[in-house]
Chain A
C-alpha cells in the first residue's frame, strides 16, 4: 500500500532511508525519522484498535505521550512489549506491531456489537452493580471480563535484554528540551553550572520542530538544532534525548529513563537496552510544556478526529496530512494555525468552526485572508461515521457555549482537527505532594507551591507564546544559576485573541440521550457517565475519578482530566477552582520493570553471604537454606538418601560419635572498654559482674517491653574485653541496638563495639568423641573434663593455627567450637574432618542442628519466640538476674499486669500421641477438638521434628498456662481435616539431667 498521505517534500524525515514495517499483518513503508504513528497515518491506516469497554473503533488522536488510543503490541515472542503508544515508537526497518485488542480483528470487532447493545448496561461502576450475585459466580464472570477488557499481553519468558542504572549529581536539572528548556539550559550552561537536560523525544526542540515561526530571524527548527549543538559543545552540560524524567521525588531527586536501543531493534544487540538515571539536583527546572485538549462532543472518538496541533505536527515534522477534507473545531486561535498548515499542504479546509462569536486575532485574519471559511459562534455537536469520520454536524451556540441555539448543518469531511485549549503538564510538580492551582486567565491548572528547589519555565506555567517560552526559560536558567541577566528573544508579532473556556459542546439532546461524548478515551468514560456519578452522590473529584475510572489509564488522563473536571464542576454548580483536580503519581509514562530492576536481578538480586568453608560444602553435596542473606548447609545428603534419611544419619552420628556444623554465620560482636562489663549487665537479663576471663555465659537480650529479642553466648576475654555472639539473622539488629543505647542513653560509658562476624570462622563439633578429635590437633591446651569445664574458653593452637576454643553446646552433647581467622576457616574444617575420620565424623546442617537442640528444649529466638515471649514464658527464669543493681533493659516490664499474668502462653514440649506423627509447625492448639468454630485457640506449635534418637515425633509450642498443664492432652486441628493429639510435657526430651554435655 502506498503512502497516500505522505507529502512530496518537507518534514524532518530522511527520505533516503525507507523502512518497512508491518501492522496487523500488513506491510507498509515509512522513513527514518517517522514514528510508528506518523508512518501509519502516512499509509492511511485509520483504525488502530478498539476501546476498553465499548470496543469502539479508535484511531490516532495525538502525536506524543498524550496518545490514549494507539496502544500497540510491539515485536514478538520474548521481545514483545505491551502498550507502547505508536506516537512514541521510533520506526525501524522490520518493526512489527499489532493492535492490542479487537476480535477477530481491530477492523472487524465483534465486541463492538456488545458495546452497542450492551453499552446501556455498562454505565460507570457497572461492575459494582452487576455480576454481584450469585457471589460464587464472580470468578467465572471475572475470567470473561478480563478476556474482554484490557490491552496488551506480557511475554511469559524472561526478558532478553539487560538494563542498568547510574547515579548522577548536578547543579541544574532541566526537564524538557522544547524552547523553554533549551533556553534555560543554554543560560545555565554558559554560567558554568553542571547541567543535565533531558527530553523524551529523539530530537531536542519540542514544538520548535513543527513550528513555522522564527526565533531572532532563524527558522524555529534550525534554531533548535543550533541550540542543541551549542549545548553538546559545553563540557559541563549532559545532553540526553530519548530520556523521560518520569518521577520527581523528595529533595530534588529526579529519576529518568534513557531508551538506548528501542529505536534500533526489538532487542539490544550489545549493551543495555535502557538505563535508569537517578539524579540528585540542586535546582530543577520544569520546562515540560502543555498538552492540547480535545473537545467533548457526540462521537468525538471516531478515527480521523485528532488534536489540532498534532495535525500540524504531522504535516510540518513528518510530511503527513492525515486527510483530504478537514474541519477545524477551535475555542482559541491555535486551530487557525492548523487550518493554514493544512491549506499549505495542498488539502481542503472545509471550515474553521469557532465557538467564539467574534474571533479576530492575527491568525484568524490570516486564515480569512487565505480564503478559509470561518463559522463563528458555532460548535461541532456530533461527528458522523462508523469506522472513520465522514462528516460533522455544526450548530450555532450561545455566547457561553452552553446551548445549541439554531439548526445544525452537516459538513462532509474525513478529518476533524480539534483545538480545545491547553493543559500545562504539571505531573512532575505533583509527585511530592504539591497540588496544582487553577488559574482563570489560563483556563488551566499550573504547578502549585512546593518546598523543592524548583523553577518553572514556558507553557507549563500557562505561557503559550514562543517568545514567552524562550524568555521565561532563559530567566529560569539564570535564576537557577544565580546569575542576574538573561538572554531575551524576538519571535515577531505573536498577538493572539482571547480563548474561550469551553470543554463540552452541547447537543440538541440532553447529555444522557445524546450520542456518546467521550471525556477519557482510554477508559471509555463519557460525559453522561460523569453526570451519572455526580447524580449518584459522588461529590469529591477524587471519588468521581475512582468511580468512573477517569484518568486511570496508562495515559493518566493527559487528554481527558481537565474536561472531566470541568463537567464535574458544571454538574455540581461549582467553579473548576472549587472542584479541584486529582494529582499524579510517578511514572509520567510507563516504565518497564526491567529498568527498575537494572542489574540487580537473577544472581545479583540479593547479596549471598558465604562462609569460608563454602567451597567444601558445595563439593560435598550440601543442600543449602537461606538464613537472612547467608547460604547455610541445610543437610548433607549422601548418594540415594532422602532428606529424612540424611537427618536421621546426621543426628545419630552426633549423639553416638561426633558431627560437625559450620557455625560461622552467628553474629559476633567484639566489645571493649572499661565499662564493657557494666554495659553487658544493662543489656542482658543475667549477671556479668563476676564472669571471669576464660569463662562464657549464655545471655538473653530483651526489648524494653520485657520480650526476648535475641540470645547468644558471650565470652569474657579480659575485664575490659568481651566477645558477644548473636543469632545469625539478628547480628545487625543487635549491633544497632547496642550502639543505640550507648550513643543515645549512656554516652559516658567507655565501651566500643565492632562487628567481627566475617572475621572469624567457627567449626562447631559435638558428640562423645569430640574431645578425642580435638586432642589430636591441639596439644597446648589441657582439654580434659576438669581443666576445661563446660562454658570455658581457651586460646590455643589447633592444627598449627592460633585459635580460640570454646566448650559450649547447643546439642546437649560434649561439644567444642574452634574459632580461627576466617581465611583459615576452610583449612581448619578440613583438618578437623581429617582428624575425625577414624570416628566417622559427620558434617551436619541447620536442620539437624534444629532437631538436636529441640530434643534438649533449647529455644531459637525468632522461631520459638516472636517478640511476645518473656524469659519466664520460655521457662528461662533462671537466666534472669534477681539482684542486679541497674534495672536492665526489659526488667521493669515483668511487673506490668499483662506480663505478670499466670495464664500467659508458656513454652511446653508436645509429644504426639501417635509416635509416628510429626505435627506441622504453626498448627493451632485447642483443648477440645469438637467445640464449635471459632475455637478457643490456646497456642501453637513452634518447632516440630522427627527424632531418630528417641524414635518418635517431638515438638515445642506455646500454650496458655502451659506450665500447669503437664500431662494434659491437647489437639491440633489441621486444614486437611486431620486432628493430631499430643501430650503436654517438658520440652527437654533427651537426657534431662544433662549428663552428656557435662562429660
Chain B
C-alpha cells in the first residue's frame, strides 16, 4: 500500500481546501508545492509590498516580481511586470507566445497558498443558464453539471471560507439561489460612492438593446469571502483597500489560511520547492507516480538549480496546480506513442479563458466626492444584467464598482503628484493651463488639485465573458525552459467576436452609467498598452481579471473533454485534474467559488475510493 492516500500537486485554493477535507476525514495526504512555504512572519510579505515601487499583485511574494528572469528562476510565474515590460520577450516573460497571439492578461503565483493569496475575495455563484451556454445560447461549451446540483456544495464552501452576503441582495441580482439560504455572515456594507451611484443608476437597463426588455439595473452588495464579523479565528475587515495583492490582517479568506487548517488536521504533509515535471503511467493505465525536482534557491537569478528528485506514490493523484500549470505538467508527460497523459481527447491545454475586463473611469460630481481608496477593493456590482437572450449574440458582462479610485486604471495616486510637479498629464487630470496645457503647482494650489481630484476618482470594471475556443491554448515551448530545465508554457490567446461584442456593449453601458451618475468620464484608450484590440472600428484595451480558466475542461463525452463530472481523468481513473481549468464556461462571475463548489463534489467522490 502506498504511504499516502492522496497526492495533491499545488497548495492553492483547490488543493488546500481538498487537503483539509481529506485530512479531516483521516486520509493521509501529501502535497507537492512548487514554491516556498509561507514566511514565519506575515509582515515579511507586507514589508515587500510596502517597499515595492511597482505594487503589482505579485509584489509581496517571492520570487522578486521586479526582477523577471524566467530562464534563471527555479519556479517562475507570470507577473504584471512581465506584461508591462516585455510580454513578448521570453527573457522577461515566463509565458511565451505563438506569433500573432494577444498577451494573456492574467497572472498566478507559486508558493504556499498559491494564487489564493492575492485573489480579491469575490464569491458570486453562477446561475442556471451559465452551465448550459451552448444549449441555451449556441456559444461556448456546456457543463456536465446542473447548477442546482451545486447548491449544497456552494453552501459548504461558503461556510468554509466565510462569506459575507445577503440572500435578498442575490435574489435582486437575479441569482438562482435558494430563497431560504442564509449566508454565514451579514453582507459587507456598501461604500459611500456605491450608495450614491445606486440611488442614481438603479432602474432601466443601461443599454437600449431590445434584448433587455423587462430587465432592470440593480446595484447590489457583492458577496465576498471577507469577514463582516469575527469568523473562524480571523478578524473583521478594516478596509485596507488592498485585498489584491494582500490583506494585511487576513480578514479576507485566503488559501494559505486553508493550508494551515489542512496541516492542523495532522494528516497532511507538504513538500515545498518541489516541482512536479512529469507524471508516470503504469501498465494498467493508472497513474503510478509523480516525478518531481527539488531546489533551494528562490532568488533571481538563482545561484543554484536542481538539488534532488523523486517520485511520489499514492492511491489517488490530484493536479491542482492552476489551469496553465496543470496543462504544462500533463503536456510534459509522455504516454503511449505520440500521446501525453490524460490527453486522448487532444483537449489538454485548449479552451484557455479569462474574464477580459473593460475598465472605465471618471470623476464624481464636485458636490458628491467618491472618497475612494477606502474599504475593500469592491463592495458592489451590477449583476442583474448578466443573463438574457442577448447572450445568443454577445458575451455576458458583470459590472464591478471599484473603491480604489483610479489605482487600477491609471496607477493613481502615483500619477497625479509627479504630473503637477513636472507639468505632465500622464494621469489625464493636468490640463487646466492655457488652452488645456498642463500646469506646475506647489503649496495650497497643489493640495487643492490633489484633494479635489483624488477624492472624486472612481472606476468601474466590466468582466466580459470569454467563450471556450479550441484555438486559445497552452502548449509547451519548444525552446524556452525555466532554471530547472522544464519547458515553459507557450500561449495562443485571442478574443472572439462574441467577447468583443461584449466590449461594445460595455462601452455603451458606460456612457449611460456616467450620464445617470452625473460623472465626467475619463476613460482613454492607451495605444502603448499591448493588451488591445479593435472591433467595429473601435479600439479597446482589455485587462486580465486573474481568472485563468479552461485547459482541462470537464464534459460528458470522453473525446471532447479532459475530465468527467467528478474532475476525474477520462484516461486514468486514479487521476483528478481540478481547479478553474475544469470549467467549460465561466459566464461573467468571478470563478473561485464555483471552482471550489465543484472541488467539493470531487472530494466526495475521492472519499468513496480511499
Tell me whether A and B are bound partners: no
Interface set of B (CB-CB < 8 Å, partner A)? none
Interface set of A (CB-CB < 8 Å, partner B)? none
